Structure 1
Amino acid sequence: MSIVVTAASGQLGRLTVEALLARGVPAAGIIATSRDVTTIKDFADRGVDVRRADFAEPDTLPAAFAGADRLLLISTTTPSERVANHRRAIDAAVAAGVQLVAFTSMLRADTSTTILARTHHATEAYLCERLPSVMLRNGWYLENYTAQLPQVLQSGVLAGAAGPGRISAATRADYADAAAVVLTTDGHAGTTYELGGDHAFTLTELAAAISAASGKRIEYTDLPVDAFARLLTGVGVPAALADVLADADRAMSRDELYTDSGDLRRLIGRPTTTPAEAIAAALQV
């Protein structure tokens, strides 16, 4: 069996390749793709089949997907281009004879009101029409918060617009392990997994967890959505991305990034990483 992992140079893609290797998939049975193959040369050095694939250049896709049995379609980053890029990848997978596509969608993509969910759900619909598929509806990444720790510790403030909303976040490694399970075992076609961490939290609770781990008092400051977007642009986040992130916080305030499905824990066969564990690991780096 040959397994394609798209966007293998990205953080989730890299972790998924590593998870496949850890599950005993031979390096030669993994096809890692990227727009720039020099960024995944380390995989090639370990025997992984490295190929160039650029969803904006459909001519690159037939060779990239040739001979593949299963494919992990990792959602691309630019919302305005996402659906068109995904459709080109799905069409190429059909042409290549891929038997199963797992797509990294978004938690509650069919009911969420976020900007992000609309593009993910459109991809889901197109994929379901074309190929046997599995929807990996990933929740928020814990790394979205742990990456902010230097700034949060410096300022003493964790800012957001999520109010009292609960967030079921997990680490990228947790989601990568789930993807590896789906790609290497049978019985997942036609299934939608709502994936999130076991330990949901509010941003007030997250600020308290950072305080406990760091020994420095951190306060959560809840802002109106527009004000949070302006804060993000003020620290250098591009305006379009700032709007998407602020919109996600708005949805968090309505519990749209919360799930108690237990799907992630059951897939990976272990408890998910707790916020405290993720914070502690980030503080040690």
Structure 2
Amino acid sequence: MLVVTGASGQLGRLVIASLLDSVPAGEIVAAVRDPAKVQDLAARGVQVRQADYDRPDTLAAAFAGADKVLLVSSNAVGQRVPQHRAVIDAAKAAGARLIAYTSLLHADTSPLPLAAEHKETEALLHASGVPFVLLRNGWYTENYLGAVEPALQHGALLGGAGTGRIASAARADYAAAAAAVLAARDDQAGKVYELAGDDAYTLAELAAEIARQSGRSLAYRDLPRHEYKAVLLQIGLPEGLAELVSGSDAGAAQGGLFDDGRQLSKLIGRPTTPLAASVATALE
């Protein structure tokens, strides 16, 4: 039995879609806070169980019979550690043979502010005694492409990553990797996958690619971290999110989103989605 937490989210849904290519639906559990959001999966034969990271009492039933559990990291930044601890404890109590965790690229050395909670979660996994595998995900290309339309409207893509190279990949690439690890017949325990795109780019190069495909003028404007955060606050981002986004770009400027090991494409058995293809999708 393969349990995917956060299965109603963007990554979790893609993981289950990928699993369904090789695993019988009845052997997959979609563990979600609100089962009503994944009735389409239930209609395909996937087991749907309620699992709320903030309600540990829901996790025992959700993980009953679990052989492997994919812990998709929570999106509640600042609250992740207790939430992840609850999932790890429940998986251990259920007798799971493997926990796969979606961590952060080079979490142990990353300059990104996001790394702290991932490092703490990795420490919890080490202490749990449950066999585990780390899926240290790099950046989703989609993280930057959400800004395409407003950038084109203003003629500038704003950021604070300097000349840092970003080896991002499409969310679907990372989902395929998680599915491959869950469905693998060989033992995955103890493995650490540093997952990133085959190719890397600067934000200036991203702006140039958007301009090329859209036929519109677009320049990259690099800002100091405090100025970029101020802009994000001005356009309506909450304080915590503005700090996270500006801090992530600052980490990218230090090389925090770069890796050239190509472990992701090796794991999924195909090249990662090219930047040009992701930009084309964003411009549709």
**TM value normalised by structure 1:** 0.97
Partner in structure 2 of residue 182 of structure 1? 181
Find the aligned partners of 2:269 and 2:112 in 1 and give their Cα distance: 30
Deviation at 1:113, TM superposition (A): 2.3
TM-align CA RMSD: 0.8
Find the aligned partners of 1:237 and 1:39 in 2 and give their Cα distance: 26
Find the aligned partners of 2:174 and 2:222 in 1 and give their Cα distance: 28
Partner in structure 2 of residue 97 of structure 1? 95
Partner in structure 1 of residue 108 of structure 2? 110
SS state at 1:80 partner: coil
- Supply the AA of the counterpart residue of 1:165: G
Find the aligned partners of 1:39 and 1:261 in 2 and give their Cα distance: 37
Find the aligned partners of 1:237 and 1:37 in 2 and give their Cα distance: 29
Partner in structure 2 of residue 76 of structure 1? 74
Partner in structure 2 of residue 215 of structure 1? 215
Partner in structure 2 of residue 230 of structure 1? 230
Deviation at 1:129, TM superposition (A): 2.1
Find the aligned partners of 2:50 and 2:226 in 1 and give their Cα distance: 39
Can you give the 5+ residue segments of structure 2 that lack an aligned partner in the other structure? none
SS state at 1:79 partner: coil
Partner in structure 2 of residue 247 of structure 1? 247
1:128-149 Cα deviation digits (max 9, x unpaired): 2221111000001100122221
Find the aligned partners of 2:235 and 2:24 in 1 and give their Cα distance: 44
Matched, 1:273 2:250: no
Find the aligned partners of 2:153 and 2:208 in 1 and give their Cα distance: 15
Q: How do 1:99-178 residues align onto structure 2 when only pairs under 5 Å count? A: 99-130=97-128, 131-178=130-177
1:182-222 Cα deviation digits (max 9, x unpaired): 00012321011110001100001110111111111110000
Percent identical: 51
Partner in structure 2 of residue 35 of structure 1? 33
Find the aligned partners of 1:155 and 1:75 in 2 and give their Cα distance: 34
Cα pair 2:112 2:252 within 8 Å, conserved:
no
Find the aligned partners of 1:188 and 1:234 in 2 and give their Cα distance: 45
Find the aligned partners of 2:214 and 2:144 in 1 and give their Cα distance: 14
Find the aligned partners of 1:88 and 1:187 in 2 and give their Cα distance: 25
Can you give the 5+ residue segments of structure 1 that lack an aligned partner in the other structure? none
SS state at 1:255 partner: coil
**TM value normalised by structure 2:** 0.98
Partner in structure 2 of residue 198 of structure 1? 198
Find the aligned partners of 2:37 and 2:152 in 1 and give their Cα distance: 32
- Supply the AA of the counterpart residue of 2:71: L
Find the aligned partners of 1:170 and 1:155 in 2 and give their Cα distance: 26
2:47 aligned to which of 32, 46, 49: 49
Deviation at 1:12, TM superposition (A): 0.3
- Supply the AA of the counterpart residue of 1:76: S
Partner in structure 2 of residue 25 of structure 1? 23
Find the aligned partners of 1:275 and 1:67 in 2 and give their Cα distance: 40
- Supply the AA of the counterpart residue of 2:25: A
Find the aligned partners of 2:35 and 2:80 in 1 and give their Cα distance: 21
Find the aligned partners of 1:217 and 1:188 in 2 and give their Cα distance: 47
